[in-house]
Amino acid sequence: MSRANLRDVLLPARDGEYAVAGLVVLGWEDARTFVEAAEALGCPVILQAGPGFRRHMPIQVIAAMFNHLAENASVPVVAHLDHSTSKEECRIALDSGFTSVMFDGSRLELTQNIEKTSEVVELAREFSASTEGEIGFVGYAEGEPGNVTDPEEAGRFARQTGIDAMAVSVGNVHLQTEKQAIIDFDAIRAIESQTDIPLVLHGGSGISPETRRKLARETHVCKFNIGTELRMAFGSSLREVLAEDPVVFDRLTIMDRIAPAMREATREILRNISVA
User: What residues are annotated to the active site?
Assistant: 82
7-34 burial string, b = 16+ CB within 10 Å, else e?
bbbbebbbeeebbbbbbbbbeebbbbbb
CB contact set of 261 (below 8 Å; sequence gap of 6+): 233, 236, 237, 240
96-105 burial string, b = 16+ CB within 10 Å, else e?
bbbbbbbbbb
Helices (H), the chain: 6-16, 28-41, 51-56, 59-71, 87-96, 110-126, 151-161, 185-192, 209-218, 228-244, 251-273
Bridge partners of residue 45, in order along the sequence: 77
The H or E element that residue 45 is part of is strand 45-49
Judge whether 24 and 63 are in contact, CB under 8 Å. no
Main-chain dihedrals φ then ψ at residue 203, nearest 5 degrees: 75, 30
Judge whether 201 and 167 are in contact, CB under 8 Å. yes
* Dihedral class, residue 203 (left if φ above 0, else alpha if ψ from -120 to 50, else beta): left
List the one residue out of 9, 90, 85, 100 whose CA is nearest residue 48: 100
Judge whether 87 and 121 are in contact, CB under 8 Å. no
